[in-house]
Structure 1
Amino acid sequence: MAAALSMTCAICQAQLRSVQEAQEHAELTGHTDFSESTEPVLNLVCRSCGKPCRTKTECDLHTRRTGHEDFEDKTNEAAKPISLEAKTEDMASTEEATPSADEGVDLVVLEVNKEMLEELEGMGFPHARAVRALHFSGSSSVEAAINWVVEHENDADIDEIPKVPASEDGKQHHYTPEEAKAKMMELRERARKKKEEEEKRMEREREKERIRIGKELQEAKRIEEENERKRLIQLRKAEKEEDQRAREKIRQKLEEDKAERRRKLGLPPEEAPKVQPSPPAEEKKSFVPVRPASKAEQMRECLRGLKQNHKDDDARVKKAFQTLLTYIGNIVRSPDEEKFRKIRVSNPTFQERVGSLRGGIQFLEICGFQKGGDDFLTLPRDKVDIAVLNSAGSELNSAISNPFFGVL
């Protein structure tokens, strides 16, 4: 036969872990009819604060009060067999010490804390149920009485006022109104301090969690910025390599065109420059000849300088590039139109878009525009070089379409 793991009160169906708990239950309630049970007493422990709960109702109340929802079932760990000998002896002594109604003992209505009783009745609890709850919860607090009502609301005798022998009732301690009020204030103060401690503990936990999440977000942001930086470096490197390849192709094309023109003119192929022998160490020059920059290179550097000088205002720089492209395009399409080759420097629109930006007028001068004494920039008809203007248009298109122009 399986060993008994708990004791069940036949009157209120309360499950008790040991004979000692059964004795305490009997002393508190007057119930003396107990039976052995192989079902262990539930032991559901809150993972957040460690509070044990014996029933699902206790778990629900704890969740409503604290918000804790995660419980660990430790029923099997806490379950222990009950000694039958101890049970027999203890129950016998309990039954001997507890007089029954059949012995003709006078029963009287139990007295409870009046202020707590009035508070419960003010909440809507029936008088008998409130008295019963205060009695069986030990009149410790209104909250404990409410918990008892919730757990025993299905009891058949829930609305019966409990009675005890007159001699036992006389032994109870009766508080004066002042003592009862002081006791209630003490219990409430104790509950308030406990709640404050719990809130402080939870706030510390929340602060730790906030710090942990903050560090994780900072680390994730750092990694993302590092990856973005590497990606930009790769893009810039690829842009430089593409630009270098494009220049090489243009150079090769120019060489091929030059050779083709010489062939059509019947000229012999251009000889490769002879490599002069290196002079003796003492005759070597201390300088390296510098090739003059081409018009296209001068334009590119001018546009880069313009963007660098105004790097905080990309929209304004882009508008300047587009305005310059419009000037150059008009001249290429209609080189004989004087109005396209003449720009009033003091014009507000010109000043806003080009003239006020350092490098704007310099770019036009590289294209062939000249400053006159009559507040005009003029490109003489005989100075119009379509090849130079086409190069200027190419550089401006590249500056507008290349997102990394002026950044590299």
Structure 2
Amino acid sequence: MAGVSLMCGDCGTLLKSVEEAQEHAELTKHTNFSESTEAVLNLVCSACGKPCRSKTDSDLHTKRTGHTEFVDRTSETTKPISLQAPKPQKDVEMEDTGDGSGTQQEEMVVPEVNQELLKELEEMGFPKERTIRALHYSGNISAEAAVNWIVEHESDSDIDQMPLVPVSSKKPDAPKSSLTPEEVKQKQQELRERARKKKEEEEKQKEREREKERIRVGRELLEAKRIEEDNERKRMLALRKAEKEEEKRAREKIRQKLEEDKAERRRKLGLPPEDPSVVKPSASPTEEKKSSLPVRPATKAEQMRECLRTLKQNHKDDDAKVKTAFNTLLTFAKNVATNPNEEKFRKIRLSNANFQERVGKLQGGIEFLKLCGFEKIEGGEFLFLPRDKVDIAVLHSAGSELNSAINNPFFGVL
């Protein structure tokens, strides 16, 4: 049987003619072709008449349009293939006509079309190449005529290729429409409706993507907030645990000091040491509180803590005033530690109304500043911290004690 197609040995594609094989070689750089007895399929869609050359083309057409019925016309279009290559036109400038005369090949250009009609059709959703082709072959008469041409040639394989015409060619006459005016209007309406639905679908898709992005960002923000709250809760638990440990150590120190004082008193009175094996009756909290003796803090940090505890206990009915005093003292200590060379931060006028209201009138406020290194000068009118007596370590300890007093809700309870 004679060959009816050319098969590409590199990809297996079936081609109808030598021209198609040349185009395929230019696009894919494949060079291995052989004659084949297998015909190129010609599956024609029953709904719209579009030809499909392979099962893959028909599947794509079905997916795109929903058409599923195809008529196999392969046998009708199958014919022996001609292996004679056509003359290349790009390299031929003069062609012999047989009578000694020659004609020069004309330059091919994109035809001119009505720009207003072109813009109108592009706004309807048609590609530029299809629009120019339709306007050119419909005679640039109107948008309706171009739409009518698109409807009639929608299944053309080259409908979306840019048309080229000789420079000297004239515009082709407008073909007569095979549809009635009512059918043309209906087709136009269908095309407009199709373009509108396509735009609506694109907008809906964009909106869905934006909504997904908003949901994702919202979830990330909620997760970040949850993590921050968990970290804050853990920090507060750790702070409370540290405060309890601190209170426990303070009570243990007081108990040990009481035991030492008691043993010292027994020794001075000539009494024997107390037998630890003897079980003592438990004293009531009221009696323990009455019998407890004040213990003088050993280190400067403990003295500062005791000073702040005394200030809070003396003004326990006014938490706002106590907190204001603590914050003011923290500001003084922080300013001197940060700018030790600035004299204005190391000198405080005791008669200042704001200072007296916040710190001066509260028992323990001026004592705390003295523990930081401040001294009274000029007859007690000023509190002054000499530059050579600035101790950054002491100021840092003061800041730590003040932060603990401000943030610890149980500070000064015991």
TM-score range, shorter chain: 0.3 to 0.5
Q: Which structure has more helix as a fraction of its residues? A: 1
TM-score of the aligned structures, taking structure 1 as reference length? 0.43
TM-score normalised to structure 2 length = 0.43
